Amino acid sequence: MTDLQQGGNAPTPGDALTIGFAWKVAPGRDVDADASAYLLTASGKVRDDADMVFYNQPEGGAGGIRFVSAGGRGAFEVDLARIPSEIEKIVFCVTIHEAQAKSQTLALLDGAEITVAPSGGAAALRFAPALAGASEAAMTFGELYRRNGQWKFRAVGQGFNGGLAPLARAFGIDVAEDAAPVPPPAPPPPPPVNLSKVTLEKAGQTVSLEKRGASFGEIIINLNWSRGRKGFFGGGSAIDLDLGCLFELADGRKGVVQALGKAFGSFNDLPYIALSGDDRTGDVSQGETLRVNGAQWAQIRRIAVFANIYDGVPNWQQTDGVVLVTMPDQPPIEVRMTEGRDDRRLCGIVLIENDAGRVKVTRIVDYVRDQQVLDEKLGWGLRWVAGRKD
């Protein structure tokens, strides 16, 4: 079984699947959690209310998905061959029932996980989101999605404020609330946060995120790409695809975080950016990750994220490379490495800037010779010398 990290993806183990859930609740705690699934078109919304599948509406997608009771948690039997062609994604979520009334969050669930298994077989994929200290009452655990005519599974782990009804509305479901006794006067709740994924598809396209608490928390920048080939690009040797970034701090200091030269950075100290892992083959399920300390966002002016082919013959078209930027209580931001220049070894992917305290994310996707050329294009002003990872 393959354990995925947040943002990791893998091909599905066939078309007939069982999507299972597991969690535990501490004794004496009255916590009622439910699993639900949403069939989404390319717009990120359902076609109609029938595209929500859960305990009270157990079948959808022309019979291609069915909710079943399994160990008290529920599971979904999925036949991908029967899913209508206009459905691009199936999102699987867990919510706390009456979370606001009971002041409960997902942090009360222990050992929570989502698994993907071939129908009648053992689990092939698993993702266990980090729920310790979670302030949300709903979360997208994972999603099945089409890519180039094939289905894949992605570990998401994206939280959402509110319970089942607000989550369903975010996906376009018309939810009728049950009548309830009039509660005592209370301050109005904050407006719901739209956590639908934002995809930056055009050069220069930008999104800005406002802080929704004391800090942005941990900002995760994950690079992932397709697997299952002999070598990255169908040849006999694997490509060493590296994630890195140029950074500039608020006081003007500049530098680079990358495996080359073992410049791995630091999360808890300057520059408050750290590279986790160096995947030299593409076999690591979660790819490579930059962690940015959002509690120190005021110390950072800008970050330019890049992917570099350190070893191997460039063939960007076949990587299906994608960078996913995630942080608590914010929509995930996706940037795909499209087109490509096979005579260039580095792709400048995305620019992340501190815009008056906001996180401003701008798509670049510019293929250049090396880090020095990217530096010059963005006006960074570093001095460069040759280096190695070993």
pLDDT tens digits for range 343-369: 888 999 999 999 999 999 999 999 999
pLDDT (0 to 100) of residue 234: 46
Question: Same structural domain for residues 208 and 143?
Answer: no
236 and 165 share one domain: no
Q: Is 32 inside any structural domain?
A: yes
293 and 161 within one domain: no
Token pair 């808890």 in the structure block, residue? 268
Residue at a domain's end among 124, 147, 170? 170
pLDDT above 60 (res 97): yes
Same domain, 153 and 228: no
Do residues 109 and 242 both lie within one domain? no
User: For 198-215, how does the pLDDT look when each residue is reduced to its tens digit (9 = 90+)?
Assistant: 999 888 999 999 988 888
Band (191; pLDDT cuts 50, 70, 90): low
Q: Give 48 or 167, the one with higher predicted confidence.
A: 48
Task: Report strand pairing: 89-96 vs 59-60.
Answer: unpaired
SS3 label, residue 8: coil
The C-alpha angle 80, 85, 90, rounded to 5 degrees, equals: 55
Same domain, 111 and 210: no
276 is a domain residue = yes
Shared-domain flag, residues 141 and 227: no
Burial 230-245 (b: 16+ CB within 10 A, else e): ebbbeeeebbbbbbbb
Q: Is residue 389 a part of any domain in this protein?
A: no
Residue 65 resides in a domain: yes
75 with 20: CB under 8 angstroms? Answer: yes
Q: Would the pLDDT of 195 be above 80?
A: no
For the chain, the average pLDDT equals 85
pLDDT for residue 133? 84
Residues 322 and 368 in one domain: yes
Residue scoring higher pLDDT (176 or 29): 29
Residue 189 is predicted with a pLDDT of 62
Could you tell me which residues come within 8 angstroms of residue 171 by beta carbon, excluding any fewer than 6 positions away? 38, 40, 44, 45, 46, 52, 91, 196
SS3 content of the chain, % helix, strand, coil (to 5): 10, 40, 45
- Under 8 Å between Cβ of 220 and 356: no
Domain end, chosen from 127, 154, 170, is at: 170
Query: Do the domain assignments include residue 334?
Result: yes
Nearest to 1 by CA among 116, 107, 85, 110: 116
pLDDT band at 122 (very low <50, low <70, confident <90, very high): very high
In 10 A of CB 164, how many CB atoms?
24
Q: Is the pLDDT of residue 26 over 50?
A: yes
Which backbone phi and psi does 49 adopt, to 5 degrees?
A: -65, -20
Among 46, 30, 23, which Cα is nearest to 115's? Answer: 23
DSSP string, 167-183: HHHHTT---PPPP-PPP
Lowest-confidence pick of 111-125, 149-163, 187-201, 234-248: 187-201
pTM > 0.95: yes or no: no
Residue ending a domain, choose from 170, 188, 223? 170
Q: Among positive and negative, which fits the CA dihedral 86, 90, 91, 92?
A: positive
pLDDT band at residue 84 using 50, 70 and 90 as cut-offs: very high
Higher confidence at residue 377 or residue 73? Answer: 377
Q: Is residue 367 situated within a structural domain?
A: yes
User: Which pLDDT value is given to residue 310?
Assistant: 74
Q: Indicate whether 99 pLDDT > 50.
A: yes
Per-residue pLDDT band for 280 (boundaries 50, 70, 90) equals very low
User: Is 351 a domain residue?
Assistant: yes
User: 248: Cβ–Cβ under 8 A, 6 or more apart, which residues?
Assistant: 254, 300, 301, 302, 303, 380
Q: How far apart are CA 366 and CA 345, in angstroms?
A: 11
Q: Is residue 175 included in any domain, yes or no? A: no
Share of the chain above pLDDT 70, in %: 86
Fill in the DSSP letter of residue 309: E
Q: Residue 72 pLDDT > 90, yes or no?
A: no
Q: How far apart are CA 332 and CA 197, in angstroms?
A: 5
Look at residue 287 in the predicted model and tell me its pLDDT.
75
371, 386 Cβ separation under 8 angstroms: no
Same structural domain, 237 and 279: yes
Amino acid present at 210: E
Residues 132 and 246 in one domain: no
| CATH number of the domain residue 138 falls in | 2.60.60.30
Domain assignment of residue 264, given as a range: 204-378
Question: Do 235 and 150 reside in the same domain of the chain?
Answer: no
Q: How far is the C-alpha of 135 from the C-alpha of 38, rounded, in Å? A: 23
Same domain (yes/no): 222, 324? yes
Total structural domains within the chain:
2
